[in-house]
Chain A
Amino acid sequence: MAGPVKNKPRIFYGWYMVAALMFIALVTTGARNAFGVFVIPMEEEFGWNRTTVTAAGFIGAVVAGVIQPFLGRIFDATGGRKIVILGLIGVGVTLILLSLTFHIIFLVLMFGVFASVSAGGVSINNTSAMLARWFRRRRATVMGMNAAGASLGGMVMVPFAMFLLQATSWRLTWVALGVVILVLAVPLAFFFIRESPAKLGLQPDGDEDPADGSPTGGSQRGPGPLEADRWTQPFRSAPFWQVSLSYMICGSTTYMLSFHFVPYAVDRGVSQTLAATIMGVMLGLNVFGSLGAGLLADRFGRKNLLAVVYLLRGSGYMILILPGILGLTLLSGTFGLWVFALVMGFSWWATLPLTASLTADVYGTRTLGTMSGISFAFHQIGAASSVLFAAILYDITGSYTVPFLAVGLLLFPAAFSAFSVKERKYSSRYVSTPAAGAATGD
């Protein structure tokens, strides 16, 4: 690197932020994913039925969607560090309080409301918005890493909770999950989380300060034409709607699967165990999907890749449903389920780093917490309505074919919507491009 180097750190501080936020995403998402571990022991102790206990989880998903835009607004107004730390403390304390559960209303309030609101403060939306300030050229990569941390959370924390519960009790296991967050994640956040590189006298991506006359400075691009100072501004432009509406379809296709895939596979004649195995593999592939999507997006641009992800997912749904209708025996059996799991697994979380980085590139980082929160609300609207839609249609038709086909078909307009975003015109990646070899986009 040319120019006067002033004891530049060997490792850019942003990478410590990435590592800390990955760990935070892992423990918070993982602890919440472990809810299912507690269902049976709590049912047994209190005599609740499955629907009653699951209601807490469902309410939690709805609350998370509703609250996120407001938390995003607070995030943007305060800089983010405080809300991340407070959110972590809230999650930790709520998990510990869950050990005192004595009534279903207490469970719904603690897990469905308080834990969801607290988790919203430290959500992937907010932490990705924070990382967007630290990275420009590698923005999608670090967002993908952050999402992979959350995805890994289920794989790490769920077995941890499961075996701890077996060895101790469900009450002690809630306490342990809360303690992990309070003792490990909170101090880590306190130590590492800084709101922006400017606060440490650094530039995004660890580049040289252009004021030093350095010829480098790949991050030093100007703002895009739609850079927003107020959170209401993006509503008046097309990319916000193109990205958010396709993200709503994303929510409907993933949540429908979360809730209905296992029963659907069992209806197709697959055993419960095999259905669970396929679902587990699909969830495991998320990690690679989000990491790969982030890396590729920084190389090749965001919107085309986002369109490809939606196309792939739509094709996956068609592979799942059409062979049964058309009588194609090979794909209508277990093999078809595995092909679907492969396609869906890679595309499941891949939309998150792509959507978040595209939003950051187009609208800037000043209102990104709010924008991501609103996009996430769209995601959750799609999620809740599709779960409801599938359940109602299942009760009417006796099968999942119609709802799965319907949401699968919606993925094709979603792909078109993403593809039609004018990334080269609006994204800051393509405005006043200096040295760094930017990607191809439109």
Chain B
Amino acid sequence: MSSPTILSVLRHHGESADPELLAWIKQLLDHILGSSGWVIVAIVGLALVAFPVGLVLFYLSQLRRERANSYQASRDG
């Protein structure tokens, strides 16, 4: 296979992370939200932080509850 043929593959590129597609998505979001990109950055950034923190806090609260129940059950039984 000649290298120009292999490189021709790349010229056909139009995948999901294609710059043209991304430019269009950005244009659409600009149109919906105005041109303040920081709004999107802040919203997504907060969601990204909130999910793991929320999950850990939820798990710890459940763990504490189960330990309290377990302690109560051992006292009762």
Q: CA separation between A258 and B15, bound complex, in Å?
A: 4
Contact assessment for A55 and B10 in the assembled complex, using a CB-CB cutoff below 8 Å: yes
Smallest CB-CB separation from A286: which chain B residue? B16
Contact assessment for A54 and B10 in the assembled complex, using a CB-CB cutoff below 8 Å: yes
A48 within 8 Å of B (CB atoms): no
A residues 24-82 in Cβ contact with B at 8 Å: 27, 33-37, 39-40, 50-51, 54-55, 57-58
A233 within 8 Å of B (CB atoms): no
Contacts of B19 in A (CB 8 A): 36-37, 39-40, 50
Contacts of B59 in A (CB 8 A): 16, 192
Contact assessment for A180 and B52 in the assembled complex, using a CB-CB cutoff below 8 Å: no
A residues 177-226 in Cβ contact with B at 8 Å: 180, 184-185, 187-188, 191-192
Smallest CB-CB separation from A166: which chain B residue? B37
Q: CA separation between A188 and B65, bound complex, in Å?
A: 21
Contact assessment for A51 and B37 in the assembled complex, using a CB-CB cutoff below 8 Å: no
Q: Among the listed stretches A113-121, A274-282, A292-300, A427-435, which one makes contact with chain B, having 4 or more residues with CB under 8 Å of it?
A: A274-282
Contacts of B37 in A (CB 8 A): 162-164, 166-167
Contacts across chains A and B counted by CB atoms under 8 Å: 153
Give, as a whole number of angstroms, the nearest-CB distance from B26 to chain A: 5
Across the interface, A260 reaches (CB within 8 A) one of B12, B21, B41, B55, namely: B12
Contact (A180, B48) CB under 8 Å given A35-B17, A55-B10, A277-B24? yes
A341 within 8 Å of B (CB atoms): no
Q: CA separation between A26 and B7, bound complex, in Å?
A: 31
Give, as a whole number of angstroms, the nearest-CB distance from A66 to chain B: 16
Contact assessment for A37 and B17 in the assembled complex, using a CB-CB cutoff below 8 Å: yes
Smallest CB-CB separation from A55: which chain B residue? B10
A397 within 8 Å of B (CB atoms): no
Number of interface residues of A (CB under 8 A): 60
Smallest CB-CB separation from B35: which chain A residue? A166
B75 within 8 Å of A (CB atoms): no
Contacts of B11 in A (CB 8 A): 50-51, 391
Smallest CB-CB separation from B71: which chain A residue? A7
Q: CA separation between A263 and B21, bound complex, in Å?
A: 11
Chain A 151-170: CB-based contact to B (< 8 A → 1; otherwise 0): 00010111110111011000
Contact assessment for B52 and A184 in the assembled complex, using a CB-CB cutoff below 8 Å: yes
Contacts of A262 in B (CB 8 A): 14, 18, 20-21
Chain A 1-39: CB-based contact to B (< 8 A → 1; otherwise 0): 000000101110000100110010001000001111101
27 A-B residue pairs with Cβ-Cβ distance under 8 Å, sorted by A, are A7-B66, A7-B69, A7-B73, A9-B62, A33-B16, A34-B17, A36-B16, A40-B23, A50-B11, A55-B7, A57-B15, A156-B47, A162-B25, A162-B26, A162-B37, A163-B29, A164-B37, A164-B41, A180-B48, A188-B55, A258-B15, A259-B13, A261-B14, A262-B14, A279-B18, A391-B11, A395-B5
Of all A-B residue pairs in the complex, the 10 with the closest CB atoms, nearest first, are A36-B17, A163-B37, A262-B14, A160-B44, A258-B15, A276-B21, A391-B9, A163-B40, A276-B24, A188-B52
Q: A156-B47, A180-B48, A263-B12 are in contact. List 7 more A-B contacts (CB 8 A).
A: A35-B17, A55-B10, A158-B17, A159-B29, A277-B24, A387-B9, A391-B12
Q: What is A's interface to B at a CB cutoff of 8 Å?
A: 7, 9-11, 16, 19-20, 23, 27, 33-37, 39-40, 50-51, 54-55, 57-58, 154, 156-160, 162-164, 166-167, 180, 184-185, 187-188, 191-192, 258-263, 272-273, 276-277, 279-280, 283, 387-388, 390-392, 394-395
